[in-house]
Amino acid sequence: MKRYIIKGPNNTVKGEVNISGAKNSCLPLMAASILFKNKVILKNVPFVKDVYTMKDLLISLGAKVNFSESKKMMTIINKKKHKLIVPYKLVSTMRAGVLTMGPLLGRYPQKKIKVALGGGCALGVRDTNWHLAGFKSLGAINSLDKGYVNISAKKGLVGSKYKFPKVTVTGTSNIIMAAIFTKGTHYLKNISIEPEVIDLIKFLNNSGADIKFLGKRSIKITGIKELTNGTHNIIGDRIEAFSYLCVGAITKRKLKINNINPVHLRSEISVLKKIGYKIDKKPNSIKVSTNKKLIPVNIKTGPYPNFATDNMPMLLAVLSTIQGKSQIQETIFSNRFMAAAELKRMGAKISIKKNKAIIIGQKKLNSADCISSDLRTTFSIILGAVAANGSSTISRIYHGLRGYYNLESKLRKIGVKIVSKN
Ligand code: EPU
């Protein structure tokens, strides 16, 4: 099992990082290919582990998927008919497997779709009740059988309306994909407007779908007959971008992040500025540097455009090194402070009370041997190790490779002293 050894403090950090396409855009776009009878071409693809898992999932449904890593491109060709069962093996390793429910139902509403329920994950219970309620609003019924949810709409899907009780990212994508060919018009309220959902809507509209915004979080989807011309350039990954901005921030070194729309990191950038970091934005890049005293902050995560829960573990690491008392309130997941225990092993002073973390920033962190437990925790620990005195070992790096493309080489290129061992 791969582990990283990082020698800190890395005051050699400098240069530029080219950000890859967004994993959380790529996965729903791949799932959306099920809705197409012809070819789908995706560009700016991040070839991370989850994307390979989604490839296996689409192949198991009957699609042909070709990857060209050198061109950052993938082509998906669908057969006339898909298999209608999504096995547990693939959904259990990647929560995003649930994203196949919507397009399978949208394309084959009168058949029985059988999708394994993913269950919980390291972040806490991750329910699909609002996905299922959204399908029900379109006329689909569901039942649970041995861990699989069976969904079908004998009379076909008919547009009506559904309001999400709370914002759900994959829930929104799923209902949009299910409703593409619906009879009539379907109205959705309180949808997720994360950049990755907007990317999916753009892709579908450019391919012939009729999805219109009625307000900030409301859309109407009018059923169409067919999707065509499925070619799309995936947006840059705002979580990967913030992760590397934090490498610059925690080392107080100048770093430039390319291939990212700064608007997608509006809240995160304003938090970095509040701490005292200097941020220079261009339409497709962000520079971070430090030229004044850094101060603690209080923040709260929330659905976009608020501070992303996925970016919180990285901020936790940065705040651990900023003297004074900071506070983070997590509002999306019940168990998102796993990085705290590992950072504490490096000398960070963090106390967790329910959904709040109180951080007393330290002048120095010291190296430690750490174990990663999920995707974003991996990067949070890397940040701790980059700032700490001495050599830290981080094991179970495979969690990080689910979502960070070329992690080790990107870190090495900007001056992080990193080696990997099996
Ligand atoms: N929820 C329910 N019922 C539902 C759906 C969601 O109770 O039917 C709850 C969840 O349990 C959670 C909250 O609502 O407490 C929000 O969950 P959401 O559905 O928005 O999360 P998701 O769609 O499963 C996506 C990203 C996550 C990211 C979250 C929040 C993808 C593939 N995954 O998950 O990404 O943390 O939105 O922004 O888009 C990551 O990349 O590291 C990652 C975990």
Q: What's the order of all strands across the beta sheet hosting 185-189?
A: 161-163, 185-189, 218-222, 210-215
pLDDT of residue 206: 97
Looking at ligand 1, which residue's alpha carbon is closest to its atom 2? 127
pLDDT of residue 95: 84
Ligand 1 centre and the CA of 125: distance in Å? 10
Cβ 218 vs Cβ 188: under 8 Å: yes
What are the catalytic residues?
A: 121
The overall average pLDDT reported for the chain is 95
Provide the phi-psi class of 328: left if phi over 0, else alpha when psi is between -120 and 50, else beta.
Answer: beta
CA distances from 337 to 18, 168, 329, 401 (A): 28, 20, 10, 20
Please tell me the predicted confidence (pLDDT) of residue 119. Answer: 55
The verdict on the CB of residue 350 being under 6 Å from ligand 1 is: no
Question: So what's the pLDDT on residue 123?
Answer: 67
Give helix 195-206 / helix 169-179 axis angle, nearest 10°. Answer: 10
Q: 170 CA distance to ligand 1 centroid (A)?
A: 6
Peptide bond into 103 cis (omega under 30): no
pLDDT of the residue at 75:
98
171 ligand 1 Cβ < 6 A: yes
Ligand 1 nearest-atom number relative to CA 129: 8
Q: What is the DSSP letter of 336?
A: -
Angle in degrees, CA 136, 137, 141, rounded to 5: 20
Mutate to test the pocket of ligand 1, among 20, 24, 239 (most ligand atoms within 8 A of CB): 24
Residue found under tokens 């970091």: 277
The number of the ligand 1 atom at minimal distance from the alpha carbon of 124 is 11
How far, CA to CA in Å, does 354 sit from each of 120, 312, 336? 19, 16, 11
CB of 307 closer than 6 A to ligand 1? no
- In whole angstroms, give the CA distance from residue 399 to residue 4: 12
Q: What separation in Å is there between the alpha carbon of 252 and the centre of ligand 1?
A: 32
* Site to substitute for ligand 1 among 50, 126, 131, most atoms within 8 A of C-beta: 126
Q: What is the predicted pLDDT for the residue at 57?
A: 95
For ligand 1, whether the C-beta of 129 sits within 6 Å is yes
Question: Does residue 105 contact residue 71 with C-beta atoms inside 8 Å?
Answer: no
- pLDDT for the residue numbered 78: 85
C-alpha of residue 230 to centroid of ligand 1, in Å: 26
**Beta carbon of 335 within 6 Å of any ligand 1 atom:** no
Q: Ligand 1 within 6 A of 173 CB?
A: no
C-alpha 43: how far from chain center: 18
Cβ within 8 Å of residue 29, ≥6 positions away? 40, 42, 199, 200, 203, 232, 234
Question: 179, 219 in Cβ contact below 8 A?
Answer: no
Q: Give CA–CA dist 6/117, Å, rounded.
A: 37
Ligand 1 atom nearest residue 192's Cα: 20
Task: Point out the residues of the chain with pLDDT beneath 70.
Answer: 119-125
User: Closest by alpha carbon to 103, among 40, 161, 164, 145?
Assistant: 40
Check if 4 has its Cβ closer than 6 Å to any atom of ligand 1. no
In the block, tokens 């020698």 appear at 7
User: What whole-number distance in Å separates Cα of residue 249 and Cα of residue 62?
Assistant: 45
Q: Is 133 in the pocket of ligand 1 (CB under 6 A)?
A: no
Return the percent helix, strand and coil in the chain, to nearest 5: 35, 30, 35
Q: How far is the CA of 333 from the centre of ligand 1 (A)?
A: 8
- State whether the beta carbon of 46 lies less than 6 angstroms from ligand 1: no
- Residue whose CA is at the smallest distance from ligand 1 atom 20: 168
Cβ-count burial 176-215 (b if 16+ within 10 Å, e if not): bbbbbbbeebbbbebbbbbbbbbbbbebbeebebebeeee
Residue 374 CA, closest ligand 1 atom number = 42
Compute, in angstroms, the gap from residue 242 CA to the centroid of ligand 1: 19
From the CA of 376, give the closest atom in ligand 1. 42
Look at residue 124 in the predicted model and tell me its pLDDT: 64
